[in-house]
Structure 1
Amino acid sequence: MNLREFATKNVQRNAKAYFAYFLSSTISAALLFSFTMLVFHPDFDVSLFPQHIKNSFYVTTVIAYLFLCFFVFYSISVFLKSRYKEFGILYIIGASKKLVQKMIRIENMLISSVAAVAGILVGLIFSKILLAASGKLLGYDALKFYFPVKAMIITFSAFVIIGIVISTFCTFIIREDKVLNLIKGTKRPRPEPKASVILSIICIVLLAVGYFLSVTSSIKTITNRIIPVTTMVVVATYLLFSQLSVFVIKLLKRNRNLYMKKTTMLWVSNLLYRVKDNTRMFFLITITSTVALSAIGSVYAYWRDKEYQINREFPQAFVFSNTYENKDEVDLKTDFIEDSLKDEGIPYTKASNEIKFVIPDGDADEVVIINETGYKKLASTLALNTIPFNENETIKHSSFSADKRKNISLNNIKLEVTKESDKGILPTIHRDVNVANYNKGVYVVKDEIYERITGVKYYFGALNVEDYKDTLNISENFYNNFENIDENNKFYNNSLKAYILESTKIAYGVLLFSVIFIGLIFFVTTGSFLYNKCYMDIIEDKTKYKQLNKIGLTFKEIKSILNIEIGVLFLLPYIVAVVHFAFAISAMKHSLGIEITVPALQVIGIMLIAQIIYFFIIRKNYLLEMKKSLI
C-alpha cells in the first residue's frame, strides 16, 4: 500500500468525522459557484452598474472566500487534534515528519477537490431556479441558462488553492517532538475552569453601555458610535463565554439544593467544562451569526420597503436645484421635463421658488427655510393641506428628522416651532454634492420674516405626476441630454424619482443577494463547527457514560443530560446573537427611521427554524451513537 492509498483509506475510515466538513465544503462550493455563475452571466452586465455596486460584488466574493479559508483551516485543525493518538503511533513506528505532512496534504486535497466537483454539480442542478430567483431579486427578467465554464474553473481552482494553502498551515499543528502528548491525545486531566469576578462585571458593564448607546443612537450620532459600540460588544461577547458564563455555572454549583438534585450535578459539571472549552467556538459563531443577521435583516428591510423609502424621501417626481446664480440652468432642466411630460400626455403640477440655507444662532448645523408663498406652491403639487401659523412661529416639514427642537433663532429672530409634519415637501438638497447632508426638514416662515433672514439662496423647480413610475424613460432621456452639463458644478441637485427607484432596486437587490450569499456561507460553516465539536465530544462521552451506566445511570437520564448539553452547544451562541441583533436593529430603527421589526422577525424565524432542524438531526445521531455504545 503506497502513501496515496493509505491517505485515501484514512478518509474512508474517518468518513463520519469528515462528512460534515465535506458536506459544508460542498455547499460552500455550490454557493461560490452559483454566485460566480451569476456575476459572469452574459445577460448580466456588471460594468453598467455604479462603481459602489460593482465593488459590493467584488468585496462579497473576497469576504466569502477568506471566510471559507478560515473555516477550512478551523475545521481541519479541530479534526486533526482528534487524531493525535493516531499520529503519535505513526511517529513511534518510524514515520517521518515529512511523510505525515504529505499524508495530511493528500487527504485535504482529496476532500477539497471532490467537494468542489460535487458543489459545481449541485450548483448546475439548481442553476435554473437560482437564475430565475436572482434575476427577479436584481431587477432583471429571468436570466437564461448557460454553461458556466469560467465559473467552474474559478470554483474548482479556488478550492484546490484552499486545499494546498490550508494543508501547508495544518502540518505545523502536528509536531514530532510531542509524541508523548500525541499518544495521550485530548484525555489529559484538566483543572476546574476559573472565572474572574472583575472580568464578569466588566462584561456586564460593556454589554449594558453598548446596548444603551445602540438604542439611544440618532441619525447624527450613529456614525460615531458604530466602531466603539461594536468593539465593546465584541469584547463583552468573548468575556461572556470565557468568564461570565463560567461564573454563573459556578454559582449554580454553590446552590446545593439545586446542584444535588437528581442528574443536575452531572449536566452542571459538564457544562462548566463544555462552555469554557468551547469559548472560542461560541465567540466565533455568535459574532458571525450577529453579522449575518444584521446584514440580512437591515438590507432586507430596505429592499422590502424601498418604494416607501423613496416616497418618503422624494415627495415630487422631479426636483432640480442650484445656487440662485444658476437659476437659468434649473429652468432649462425643468422646461425639458415639462416638454417631455407634454409629449407623453402625462398631466403634471409645477412649482418653482427659492430656499435659504441658514445657520441658527448658537448652532453649527445649517437648516433650510422657505417662505410661506413657496410652501403653498409645493403643497399644491402634492395635494397637501397647508398648516396655518403666526408671524413669530414656524412649522417644520420633515419625512424623518432627529432634530426635535421646540424653538429656533435665525438672525436674532426667535421663532417657536408650533407644528411638525412628517410629510416632506422637498427632498434633501445638498449645498455641495461632495458633502453629505442629512435631511433635517424644511422650516416654513412668513414671507416678511424670510426676507429679513440672511442666508445662502438656492433656487429650485419641482414637478409632480400621479404615477411617477411611468416617467422612467423621461428620466433616462434627461440624463442622456444633460450628462455633461453638471460636470464642473458641485452645487446642483437632480432628483428624478423614477430613476432613483430603479437604481435603488438594483442596488438593494445586489446588496441583498450579496448578504444572503455571505449569510448562507456563515450558517453552513458554523454548522460544521458544531458538528466537528460534537464528533470530538462523543468519543469521550461514550467512555464516560458507559461507566456511569454500569453504576446505575439509565439511558433516559443520559438522554436528558445530553439534551441540555447539546442544546446549549447549539442554541446558546444563536440566542446571544439574536440579542445582539435586536439591539442593532433598534439602533437602525431609531436613527434611520426604517420599519425593520417585521423583516427582522422573519429573518430570525427562518434562521431559528433552520438551527432547530439542524439541532434535532445532530441530537438524534448523537443519542443513537450513545445508545449503541451502551449495549
Structure 2
Amino acid sequence: MNIREFATKNVQRNAKAYFAYFISNTISAALLFSFTMIIFHPDFNVSILPNYLKNALNMTTIIAYLFLCFFVFYSISVFLKSRYKEFGILYIIGSSKKQVQKMIRIENMIISSSAAVVGILLGVIFSKILLAASGKLLGYDALGFYIPGKAMIITLSAFIIIGIVISAFCSFIIKEDKVLSLLKGTKRPRPEPKASVVLAIICVGLLAAGYYLSITCSEDTIPYRIIPVTIMVVVATYLLFSQLSVFIIKLLKKNRRLYMKKTTVLWVSNLLYRIKDNTRMFFLITITSTVALSAIGSVYAYWRDKEDQININFPQAFFYSDTYMNKAKVDLKVGFIENSLRNDGIEYTKVNEEIKFIIPNGDKEKVVVMKDEVYKKLASALFLNSISFNENETILAVPSIGSERKSIILDNMELQVVGNSNKRMIPTFYGDVYVVKDDLYEKINGVKCYFGVLNVNNYKDTLNICNDFYSNFGDDDGDEIYKNFLKAHILESTKIGYGVLLFIAIFIGLIFFVTTGSFLYNKCYMDVIEDKKKYKQLNKIGLTYTEIKKVLNIEIGVLFLLPYIVAVIHFAFAISSLKYAFDIKITVPALQVIGTMLIAQIIYFFIIRKNYLLEIKKSLL
C-alpha cells in the first residue's frame, strides 16, 4: 500500500475524526458559492450600481475568501494537533517527515474537494429560498433560479487552491520532535495563571472611556472618535480575557464559603485555566462578532429607517435650483414635471421663488437666507404653521437638532435666533436656512439662487415621471447651487444602495458567525479528549455524572456565550452612537439583530453540549 492509498483509507476509516473539519469546510464552501451565485445572477445587473457599491462587492469577495482561508487554516491546525499521537506512531514505525506531510496533503485535498462539492450541492438545494430573500434585499421582486456554472467553477477552484496552499503550511504545524515528546508524555504541568491588578484597572478604564465617547458623540465628532474608540475597545477586550477575567476568578477563589461549596471548586478552577488558555480565541471571536453585529445592525437600522430619513431630508417631491440667471432652465424643468403630473392625474402644489447664499461674519461655511414671504409659502404647502418674528430677529427653517446658535451676523447685521421650524423647508443639502423679513432680505448681499418646488400627496407614485425627467434632462450632479432633487428617484436609489450594503453585511456576518462557531466546535473537540480522562478519574473517586454534567454546563456555557455577551455589549454602545449622532431609530433593529444571533448561538450551544456530554458519559461506562 502506497502513501496515496494509505491516506485515502485513513479518511474512509476515520470519518468521525474528520467530520468536524469536513463540516467546517463544507459550510465555508456553501457560503462562498451562495455569494458568487447571487453576484453572477443574470438578473442582477452590477453595471448599473455606483462605483462605491461595485468596489464594496469586490472587496467583500476578497475579504470573504481571505477569511475563509484563515478559517480553514485554523481548522486544520486544530485538527492536526488532535492527531499528535497518530503521527508519533507513524514516526516510530519508520515513516519519514516527507511521507507524513504527503499523507496530510492528500487527506487535505480529498476533504477540501469533497467539502466544495457538498457545499455547492447545499447551495443549489437552498438556492430558491436564498435567491428570493436576496432579491428582496437587492431591490428585485425575486431572483429566478438558474444553473450557476460560473459560481460552481469559482467555488471548486477556490477550495482546491485552499487545499494546496494550506497543505504547504503543514510543516510549520507538525514538528517531529514535538509530536514524539507529546507521545512520550513529557508534557509539563501548567502553572496557575496570573493576573496584573494594574492591567485589570486599565482594562476597566479603557472600556469606560470607549463607551462614554461612543454615547456622547455627535455628527461632527463621530469621524474623529471612531479610530481611537476602536483601538481602546480592542485593547480592552484582550485585557478583559487575559487579565480582568483571571483577576475576577481569583477573587472568587478567595471567597472560601463560595469556592468550597460542592462542585464550585471544580468549575471555578477549570474556568481559570480555560479562559486563560483560550484568551486569543475569545478575543478573536469577540472582535469578529462585534464587527458582524455592528455591520448588520447599523446597515439594517439605516435600511429600515430609509423612508423616514428621506422624508426628513427631502420635504418636497421635486426640488430644482439654479443661479438666478438660469431661471428659464428651472421653469422648463418645472413645466415638464407639471405636464407629466397632469397627464397622470396627480394633484400638486407649486412654489417658484428665490433664496440667497451668504457667508455669515466669523464663519467659513455658507448658509441660506430666505424671505419671510417665501418661508410662509413653503410652510403652507407642507401644511405647517409658520412662526412670527420681529425685524431684528430670525428663525431657522430647520429642526433644532445640532443647532445651538443664539444669534448670527448676516452682512454686518446681528440678528437674534428666536425659533426653529418643526420640519425642513428645503432639502437638507442646503444646511442651515435663516428666515428674515422681506425688506431686510433685499439689503443682504449674497448669491441669488432661483428654485422651483412641486409637491404631491404620495411621491412614490412619481417614480416613472422621475425616470422620464432624467431621460430628457440627463443625470448630472450639479454644484452647490445647481441641483435636482427628485424624491421618488432618491428613495429608489437608496433602496438599491442600502439593499446591496445590507446583503454584503449579512453575508460577511454569516461568515464570521459560522466560522467563529466552528472555532468553538473545534476547541470542544480538542478539549473532550483530555476531559474524558480527567472526569473518568474524578468519577472513580466519587464524582457523579449529574455533578459532572453541572460542571460542564457552566464551562461550555462560558466558552460559547462569554465572547458573544461581550460582543453584544460592545455592539450596544457602538450602535448607540448612531442614535446620538444621526438620530437614527436603532432600538428595534438592534434588538432584532441581537435576538436572531442569540437564538442561533443558543441552538448551537445545545447541539454541541449534547454531543460533548454524550462523549463524556460514554467514557464513564
What's the TM-score, normalizing by structure 1?
Answer: 0.94
SS of equivalent residue, structure 1 residue 444: strand
CA deviation string 1:67-106 (max 9, x = no partner)? 1111111111122222223223322322222212111111
**Which residue matches 2:264?**
264
Shift of 1:223: 1.2
- The answer on whether the counterparts of 1:220 and 1:402 sit within 8 Å (CA) in structure 2 is no
**Which residue matches 1:48?**
48
| Residues 196/14 of structure 1: CA separation in 2 closer, same or farther (3 Å cut) | farther
Shift of 1:560: 1.0
2:215 paired with 1:224: no
Match of 2:522 among 532, 538, 559: 532
Q: How does 1:508-523 map to 2 (within 5 A)?
A: 508-523=498-513
**Which residue matches 1:69?**
69
Between 1:571-580 and 1:222-231, the stretch displaced more is 222-231
**Which residue matches 2:29?**
29
Match of 1:585 among 575, 589, 592: 575
- The answer on whether the counterparts of 1:83 and 1:185 sit within 8 Å (CA) in structure 2 is no
SS of equivalent residue, structure 2 residue 252: helix
Shift of 1:17: 4.2
- The answer on whether the counterparts of 1:301 and 1:594 sit within 8 Å (CA) in structure 2 is yes
Q: How does 1:539-550 map to 2 (within 5 A)?
A: 539-550=529-540
Shift of 1:325: 4.3
Letter in 2 for 1:251: L
Letter in 2 for 1:171: S
Letter in 1 for 2:497: A
| Residues 429/324 of structure 1: CA separation in 2 closer, same or farther (3 Å cut) | farther
Task: For 1:549 and 1:232, locate their aligned partners in 2 and report how far apart those are by CA, in whole Å.
Answer: 45
- The answer on whether the counterparts of 1:84 and 1:185 sit within 8 Å (CA) in structure 2 is no
- The answer on whether the counterparts of 2:29 and 2:120 sit within 8 Å (CA) in structure 1 is yes
**Which residue matches 1:597?**
587
Task: For 1:82 and 1:24, locate their aligned partners in 2 and report how far apart those are by CA, in whole Å.
Answer: 16
SS of equivalent residue, structure 1 residue 602: helix
SS of equivalent residue, structure 1 residue 194: coil
What's the TM-score, normalizing by structure 2?
Answer: 0.95
SS of equivalent residue, structure 1 residue 369: strand
Shift of 1:510: 1.1
Shift of 1:606: 0.7
- The answer on whether the counterparts of 1:424 and 1:441 sit within 8 Å (CA) in structure 2 is no
SS of equivalent residue, structure 1 residue 251: helix
**Which residue matches 1:113?**
113
- The answer on whether the counterparts of 1:313 and 1:399 sit within 8 Å (CA) in structure 2 is no
Letter in 1 for 2:460: K
Shift of 1:308: 1.5
Match of 1:505 among 479, 483, 495: 495
Task: For 1:399 and 1:390, locate their aligned partners in 2 and report how far apart those are by CA, in whole Å.
Answer: 20
Q: How does 1:415-426 map to 2 (within 5 A)?
A: 415-426=415-426
| Residues 620/138 of structure 1: CA separation in 2 closer, same or farther (3 Å cut) | same
Between 1:494-503 and 1:99-108, the stretch displaced more is 99-108
Length, aligned pairs only: 621
Percent identity over paired residues: 75
Task: For 1:186 and 1:102, locate their aligned partners in 2 and report how far apart those are by CA, in whole Å.
Answer: 27
Task: For 1:189 and 1:468, locate their aligned partners in 2 and report how far apart those are by CA, in whole Å.
Answer: 73
- The answer on whether the counterparts of 1:401 and 1:441 sit within 8 Å (CA) in structure 2 is no
Shift of 1:573: 0.3
Shift of 1:361: 3.9
**Which residue matches 2:450?**
459
SS of equivalent residue, structure 1 residue 315: coil
* Aligned-CA RMSD value: 2.1
Match of 1:571 among 561, 579, 597: 561
Task: For 2:603 and 2:190, locate their aligned partners in 1 and report how far apart those are by CA, in whole Å.
Answer: 33
Task: For 2:151 and 2:399, locate their aligned partners in 1 and report how far apart those are by CA, in whole Å.
Answer: 45
Shift of 1:323: 3.6
**Which residue matches 1:434?**
none
Letter in 1 for 2:123: G
2:479 paired with 1:479: no
2:284 paired with 1:284: yes
SS of equivalent residue, structure 1 residue 172: helix
Between 1:353-362 and 1:27-36, the stretch displaced more is 353-362
- The answer on whether the counterparts of 2:33 and 2:152 sit within 8 Å (CA) in structure 1 is yes
Match of 2:460 among 461, 469, 484: 469
**Which residue matches 1:243?**
243
Task: For 2:68 and 2:356, locate their aligned partners in 1 and report how far apart those are by CA, in whole Å.
Answer: 53
- The answer on whether the counterparts of 2:399 and 2:420 sit within 8 Å (CA) in structure 1 is no
Shift of 1:21: 2.9
**Which residue matches 2:159?**
159
**Which residue matches 1:149?**
149
**Which residue matches 1:433?**
none
| Residues 156/136 of structure 1: CA separation in 2 closer, same or farther (3 Å cut) | same
Task: For 1:583 and 1:415, locate their aligned partners in 2 and report how far apart those are by CA, in whole Å.
Answer: 40
Shift of 1:287: 0.8
Task: For 1:59 and 1:378, locate their aligned partners in 2 and report how far apart those are by CA, in whole Å.
Answer: 44
**Which residue matches 1:435?**
none
Task: For 2:179 and 2:599, locate their aligned partners in 1 and report how far apart those are by CA, in whole Å.
Answer: 44
- The answer on whether the counterparts of 1:399 and 1:441 sit within 8 Å (CA) in structure 2 is no
**Which residue matches 1:374?**
374
- The answer on whether the counterparts of 2:116 and 2:155 sit within 8 Å (CA) in structure 1 is yes
Between 1:183-192 and 1:225-234, the stretch displaced more is 183-192
Which 5+ residue runs of structure 2 have no aligned equivalent? Answer: none
- The answer on whether the counterparts of 1:549 and 1:630 sit within 8 Å (CA) in structure 2 is yes
